[in-house]
Structure 1
Amino acid sequence: MAPALPLVLDHTQLPPAELSAARLDGELRDLGGAYCSVDVHPSAALRGTALAPLVPDRLVVERMSAAWVLGATPRFPRPLQLCIRSSHRIRDVPSVDRQVRQVVLDDHEIVAAGPVRVTDPFRTAVDLVRCDPAFDPGVVLCVVTLLLAAGASTARCRTELRRVPHLPHKQRALRRLEEVDELLRAPPLGGR
């Protein structure tokens, strides 16, 4: 009996040409630089497993990368967005494949997704409203999805933003929350 392959495949299990051929044949799907079978439902844990080789120890997946891991956006973002907690002093080797920033992050704002740590849905939504350079309809929808997953409201976002006196991009974030409110108030598609 042949050994079973893991749920997440990359070039360490099979050659890149074989992985690509299996994807073209419809047997595998892309999963953030790795692959999984088309009949496996991608979960946060599975996406986290796919990212694990790309995430250095003690770094946390954040912003659009976290939104992808949490299932709030289908598009895998490049470069990978990571953060270092301000209480940690580690040295990161610069790479064009990832953005790393230092942030204040409490334990309750981090969740596990397989072997990696990710900002939780509420923190990810607040970070996207505040820090994402573009706030196009896709990002707005992503923020709405994250807030719904967190069971949170834009009012809670506003409270969080106002809690820190000199938070960069606070005013922009407060304006952007108005766009999120508009989408939340809109009638559902096909609704009456």
Structure 2
Amino acid sequence: MNKATEQRTAALRIPEDLFVIGQPFTRNELGAMAFRGYLRETLPGHYLGTRHRYTPTVRAKITAHVAGKQLHKSDVLIRATAAWIHGLISYCPTLNISSAHYRRPANPVHGVGFEFMQLELDESETLIRGPVLLTDTLRTVCDMACHDPLPWAVEALNRVVGMQDPYVNLQTITAKLRNFPVSSPVQRGLRLVESMEQQAA
């Protein structure tokens, strides 16, 4: 096989191209292959060969496969999960799912947990990526600023700043947060975005 063929992007097949801990490799073996550059860890415990493109659609397909029956057709992926699919954060240990009705807690799948909630979303705040429905970038970073651990929220906001998108930036995030019902999480989000605006000034 020549070098050009080796570097060619391979067609992705899910689940065939996913390496999962214990099927048959151990965590240490998969970690060693990732360290050598053969694999990358996607969701916890799930690895993908680096010859595959790593796009939002690919991450959406991986998420749908890992979630399995826990992700219903009308469910929306939100917060850190949506941010991971969008490419705003590099790590997502839990699948955050907004469902129309109360859902009982689900057991983790190979180290990936599930968090269900009922989030009021306008249709304009969601989009389809591959096989899943998720919040758009603006709604995603607003929710993260309000609710997610600060390191993840800051990572997502920094990535947004770097995108230089005229429709998703610190100013539009602030404007959207001010339209949310007043609450302690929203106030936290506003303070976080304000502090980042001061740093960027």
TM-score range, shorter chain: 0.7 to 0.9
2:61 to 35, 41, 49: 49
Deviation at 1:94, TM superposition (A): 1.5
**RMSD between aligned residues:** 2.9
Amino acid at match of 2:155: L
Q: Give yes or no for contact 2:77–2:96 (8 Å, CA) kept in 1.
A: yes
Distance, in Å, in 2 between the alignment partners of 1:149 and 1:113 is 22
Moved segments of 4+, more than 4 Å: 18-23
**TM-score computed with the length of structure 1 as normaliser:** 0.75
Does 2:146 align with 1:139? no
1:66 to 70, 82, 99: 82
Amino acid at match of 1:178: E
Does 2:106 align with 1:82? no
Change (3 A) 1:107 1:29: same
Aligned length: 174
2:4 corresponding residue in structure 1: none
Q: Give yes or no for contact 2:75–2:98 (8 Å, CA) kept in 1.
A: yes
Distance, in Å, in 1 between the alignment partners of 2:76 and 2:24 is 31
SS of 2:40 mapped into structure 1: strand
Note the residue ranges of structure 1 that are not aligned, 5 or more in a row: 186-192
Distance, in Å, in 2 between the alignment partners of 1:73 and 1:173 is 17
Q: Give yes or no for contact 1:60–1:117 (8 Å, CA) kept in 2.
A: yes
Amino acid at match of 1:179: S
Q: Give yes or no for contact 2:83–2:156 (8 Å, CA) kept in 1.
A: yes
Amino acid at match of 1:56: L
Deviation at 1:37, TM superposition (A): 1.9
What CA deviation, in whole Å up to 9, does each residue of 1:88-137 have, x standing for no partner?
A: 3x4534125211111111112112221111111100110011112x323x
Aligned ranges 1:10-159 → 2 under 5 Å: 10=18, 16-18=23-25, 24-25=32-33, 26=36, 27-32=38-43, 33-53=45-65, 54=67, 55-57=70-72, 58-75=74-91, 77-84=92-99, 88=100, 90-96=101-107, 97-132=113-148, 134-136=149-151, 138-146=152-160, 148=163, 151-159=167-175
What CA deviation, in whole Å up to 9, does each residue of 1:17-52 have, x standing for no partner?
A: 158657644533222243322122210000011010
Change (3 A) 1:183 1:71: farther
Deviation at 1:79, TM superposition (A): 2.0
Identity among equivalent pairs (%): 22
Amino acid at match of 1:118: L
Deviation at 1:157, TM superposition (A): 2.0
Q: Give yes or no for contact 2:82–2:134 (8 Å, CA) kept in 1.
A: yes
**TM-score computed with the length of structure 2 as normaliser:** 0.72
Change (3 A) 1:22 1:125: closer
SS of 1:82 mapped into structure 2: strand
Note the residue ranges of structure 2 that are not aligned, 5 or more in a row: 1-10, 108-112
Deviation at 1:156, TM superposition (A): 2.0
